[in-house]
Structures are given as structure tokens and as C-alpha cells.
Structure 1
Amino acid sequence: MSSASSSDDSKTSEEMLNIVLGYIVDVLLSLSIAGSFLTVLTFMLFVKLRTYPIRLILYLCMSIFFAQLFFEISFKTYDTLFCLPAAIILHYFFLADFIWTFCVAFNFYQMIVKRNRDAESFEKYYHLAAWGIPMFIVVFIAGFQKYQNRGGFCYLENEVPVFVGFFVPGLLIVCANAVIFFFIAREIHDTLKNAPRTEKKEKSKEFRVYFSIFVSIGLSWIFGFIMTFFTNKVLELIFLVLFSITTPLQGFLIFLSYCLNDKVISSYAKAFGTFIPFCKRWENYGSISHVSSTTGTNSSTRSSHDSSRSENLSSSTDSISMKPIK
């Protein structure tokens, strides 16, 4: 009796946890959808800020926005004629999201590690891969009629299509992104380690670069993939919570990383300053901050080869840089 009672209590606890996580995920997804939308809106409005690295982030945010939006829609339309289209669109944009994270990761590798000044030449291949490969996979699976209502949710019908059409591509891309992140982080660390003492103090800036890259290349998905390999309930629960908190927030965290900076604030201030006079006080915020930081950097790095490498690195990673690539 006691074992049966403890088993029932365990099931009840798991059900309660799933319900709580469900509400948390809904809230975080709403923030992410809003964040990805605002990121796209920001860089569509302000052309001067839309440098080549930022364009890739913009396309990534488009994928995140539609993937997460249709994730929510798939729960609302399971008993309607829109169930099948919602499932197809959801699957397509999640795959596009994965591939765009790899494109962003590969671009960071080209700019930071390889210091490739011609990295922009890869963009056409990114579009072919990020929009074309998901289309091929979705059409192939749809040909076998594997999209359906899974009892309150519109998606792939069972484990085999999910494994082949989502899990395997996602796992391969996340693993590749993790390897690329290692080389990028090592290059950043080695460069900043040899920087002048004044720059070494800027640990928060270094962490912000790591954080921006980590978020942009979707490494939080690794928690979800690792979770599937554990049979231990405690470890599975830990990674489930980590996955449920971090991954649904991707769009919002990208917004924090790329839109909450002086240049974006200054651009919005100039846009709204014409009819909201209070905003005018922020119009020169970006240029003042940029001039002061540039002056400080130049004065401390003129005589150092290592510091020039640091400048190159920072220019490659300024949101991760908002300077136009020539």
C-alpha cells in the first residue's frame, strides 16, 4: 500500500511540475515572440544599423518568431482545418531556426577566428540552406502524410518522423554549434588575455559577448537533447527545467543582446523625437558613448600589437559589431 501511495504521489508531483512548467513556458514564449518581433522591427526600420552580421540575426529572429508563434497556434487549432497547415509551418520554421543558428555560428567563426573580411560572400549559401533544406524535409514528410492532430497538438504523428525530421537534424546542428562556440570562445579569451590592463577590467563586456553568441546560436537547445539521454529522473528533471526556462526565451534574449544598446536607443530617440520632445535628450547617446569608448581604447592601445588584435575582435563582435563591413 505504501509503495502504491508513494507511486501515486510521484505521479501527482510530476503532473504538477508539468502544469507549472507549461504556464512558465507560455509566459516565456510570449516574451520571446515579442522580443524577436521587436528585433526584426528595429533592424527593418533602421537601415544604417542593419550590417551584415545583423542581417543574419534578423533572419534568425524571423524564424524564431514564426516557429514559436505557430507552436502556440498548434495547440489552438488541433480540431480545425488549420491543424495540418499549422503543423507543417511549425516544423518548417523550427528547422529554419536550427539552420540559421548554424549560419550565425559559422559567420562568427569566420569573422572572429578566421578573421575573414569576405565573410559576407557566404550569405547566399546561408539562404539556400536555411530556407531550402527545411522545405525539402517538410515536403518529403508531408508526402507520406505524417502531419496530424496528436491529441490537442498539431505536429508530426509519432516518434519515428519526429526522430528523423526534427531530432537528428537539430542534434547535429546543436553539436556543431557547440564545437564552433568552443573555438570562438577560445579565440576571444586568448585575444583579451593579452590586452592592456585597462581592457582586462572589462570582464562584463567579455561575458556579454559570450552571452550574445551563446544565445544567437541556440546552444540552450542542448539541454533538451541531453535530457533525452538520461534515465535518471533527477538529472532528467534538472535538464528539463533548464531547457524549459532558457530555450523559450531565445527571441527575448536576442532582443536584450542586440537592441538594448546605445546605437539602437539613439536611433529610436531620433525617430520619436519629432513628436515626443522628451526623447530628444537621447538622440546623441550613441555617438557620445562611442566617442568616449573609442578615445579610451585608442589612448591605451597605440603601442601594442595585442591590443590591436583586441580592437579587431571587438569590432567583429559589436552586436556583435554594428559597424558596416566594407
Structure 2
Amino acid sequence: MSGEDTLNTVLTYIVDIFLILSMVGSGLTVITFMLFPKLRTYPIRLILYLCMSIFFAQLFFYVSFEAWDTIMCLPSAIILHYFFLADFIWTFCVAFNFYQMIVKRNRDAESFEKYYHLASWGLPAIFVVAIAATKNYVNRKNFCYMNAQLPVFLGFFVPGLLVVCANAVIFFFIAREIHDTLKNAPRSDKKEKSKEFRGTSRSFLDRSVLDFGFIMTFFPGGVAEMIFLVLFSITTPLQGFLIFLSYCINDKVLSNYARVFAKCLPFCSRWEHLGSSTTVSGTTGSNSSTSTHSSRSENLSSSTNSVSMTPIK
């Protein structure tokens, strides 16, 4: 076995493991916020829709390998393509919602939700119908998917690349806004705001990781392609798992689970109050300049904290 064959075999195992972690993570995220309605704020609802898309896209990725010689080949190829596109667009919608909340400080950001649904569920359907009408879903070397480079380019590459570029621009504005707020915040506030910045950056980047698979297509053959193939295999399949770490591994979620499990396992009750403490931001009795900066910091805090604290309407 050549070195390239060995690498491909290793990457296959890595992708399989990471995809399973991603499906488990996205599934647990959906289950968690369906179980606890009080935690299901408007931004969290968008995360749920994203996780649903991730779960079904990655599930039918496996099915498309197993169903290549059955009657399920065509349906699995269509569903796989549909939910991957939905994943792309929901990623953009979540990023745009962060922009509205943090940069624009739009208190009516929830009014955009109906447009998010139209785009995320409607646009993929248009692509899928167009490609199905031209009979471009087939068995492709024991894998059910699109059968030619042009449909793959127009129906997968272009939408994905546009989302990656748009998310990069949005993150720039969000990072700049948070950086400016941190710079102008009182010293006593900076530690808390730094935590918010790291949390917001991590959760945003989890959904906006640059898809190295797109870059890989510009470097066919050679060492460059191999490097981006490794990066693609490591980063891309973990999306659902990273979202789970960002949104479910925290005191609020753990305290809710502790209350549930305490009914059968009394020792879990010791963790019931993990998410009950709150931190008061800002300072009092400061001069007018500090008050202005603190106000701006509190506005940012209310925007970022609404991801987990705003009650569902």
C-alpha cells in the first residue's frame, strides 16, 4: 500500500469518527433545547434548525454510500444535497442574526425569522428540483450524488463559497464591534467582556469554519491538495459536535439536566443551582465617560447574553 493510500485510509477513519461525533452532538443539541423550553430563546431556535440540517445531511451522507445499488439511491442523493444546502444557508442566517444583535443592536431581530425559513428551506428546494429535472442525480462510483462537474459546481460549490465569504465578512464586523467595546470598557468590566468575546467568537467560528474542501479544488494534485484534504477531513465533519460544546456544555444546561436526573439519582441535586448565579456588569459612581463606556458594554452584554437568557415569546 502506497503512502497516499495509507493517508486516505486514515482520513476515512477520521471522517467516520468525526461525523458520528457531529451527528451525536447535533442530535443532543436538538434534544436538549426541546426538553428545556425556558432555554429555547429565539437565537437558540435558529441553532436548532441548523442542527437539524446538519444531522440529516450527515446521516444521508452515510445512507448514500449504502444505498447506491438500491431503489433508495435517487431519494438519498436528493435528500443529502437538500440538507447540505440548508446547512449552508442556516449557517449564514445564524451569522446574520449575530450581526443584527451585536453590531446593529436590533431589538426586533426576531422579525427576520420568517425570511430565514424561506431562504433556508426554499432555496435548496429550487436547486434540487432543477438538478433532478436534468437527471443529474445518479450512482457515482458507489455513491449516490450528482454525476457531473457542472451540477456539482453550480449546485454545491458556488452556494457554499458564497456563504463562506459572507460569513467571513460578517464575522469581521462582529469582531470589530466587540473589540471596540472591550477597548472602551472600564477596567473592571474588561474581564467579563473578554469572556463574552471568546464565547461569541468560538460559537460563531464553530458555524463559520472555512470549508477547506472549497479551497482544495483550486489545488488539484500535489502537496497543497493533500494539506487541504487533511484540514478538510479534520474541521468540516465536526460542525455539530462543536455547536454542542458551545451551547450545551454550560452551567445553565447542566443545572437543568441535574434537576431531571435528581428525580432518580438524588446525588445530582447538588448541581441543580449551577446556572442560578448572575454577574452584574458595569460600575457605579464613575465619571460620565466611564458611564458612557459602561452603557455601551452593557448593550453588548445584553445582545450576547440573549443567546441563552432571552425567554421565548
Amino acid at match of 2:258: A
Partner residue in 1 for 2:206:
215
**TM-score, length basis structure 2:** 0.93
Structure 2 residue 118 is matched with structure 1 residue 128: yes
Aligned residues: 309
Q: Which of 42, 50, 53 lines up with 1:60 in the alignment? A: 50
Amino acid at match of 2:202: F
Amino acid at match of 1:285: L
Distance 1:164 1:14, change over 3 A: same
Q: 1: distance between equivalents of 2:35 and 2:285?
A: 35
CA contact 1:44–1:50 (8 Å) conserved in 2 = yes
Give the match's secondary structure for 2:93. Answer: helix
Q: 1: distance between equivalents of 2:38 and 2:312?
A: 12
Partner residue in 2 for 1:3:
none
Partner residue in 1 for 2:307:
320
Q: 2: distance between equivalents of 1:45 and 1:225?
A: 37
Q: 2: distance between equivalents of 1:134 and 1:125?
A: 14
Partner residue in 2 for 1:75:
65
Give the match's secondary structure for 1:229. Answer: coil
**Alignment gaps of 5+ in structure 1:** 1-8
Partner residue in 2 for 1:140:
130
1:211 to partner: Cα distance: 1.1
Structure 2 residue 154 is matched with structure 1 residue 167: no
1:314 to partner: Cα distance: 2.4
1:318 to partner: Cα distance: 3.0
Give the match's secondary structure for 1:287. Answer: coil
Q: 2: distance between equivalents of 1:22 and 1:181?
A: 31
Amino acid at match of 1:310: S
Amino acid at match of 1:18: N
Q: 1: distance between equivalents of 2:171 and 2:101?
A: 13
Give the match's secondary structure for 1:307. Answer: helix
Q: Deviations over 1:22-46 (max 9, x none)?
A: 1100000000000000000011111
**TM-score, length basis structure 1:** 0.90
Partner residue in 1 for 2:41:
51
Q: 2: distance between equivalents of 1:116 and 1:301?
A: 29
Q: 2: distance between equivalents of 1:172 and 1:286?
A: 38
CA contact 1:29–1:68 (8 Å) conserved in 2 = yes
Q: 2: distance between equivalents of 1:94 and 1:207?
A: 28
Distance 1:105 1:184, change over 3 A: same
Q: How does 1:1-326 map to 2 (within 5 A)?
A: 12-202=2-192, 203-216=194-207, 218-221=208-211, 223-231=212-220, 233-288=222-277, 290=278, 293-294=279-280, 297-299=281-283, 304-318=291-305, 320-324=307-311
1:229 to partner: Cα distance: 1.5
Give the match's secondary structure for 1:81. Answer: coil
Amino acid at match of 1:260: I
Q: Deviations over 1:113-170 (max 9, x none)?
A: 1110011000001001100111111011111111111111111112111111111111
Q: 2: distance between equivalents of 1:52 and 1:219?
A: 23
Q: 2: distance between equivalents of 1:112 and 1:25?
A: 34
**Alignment gaps of 5+ in structure 2:** none
Amino acid at match of 1:248: P
Give the match's secondary structure for 2:128. Answer: helix
Q: Deviations over 1:221-256 (max 9, x none)?
A: 2x2212222257333222222221111000000000
Quote the sequence identity (%). Answer: 69
Mean CA deviation greater in 302-311 or 113-122: 302-311
Q: 1: distance between equivalents of 2:188 and 2:218?
A: 45
With a CA cutoff of 8 Å and minimum separation of 6, indicate the structure with the bigger relative contact order: 2
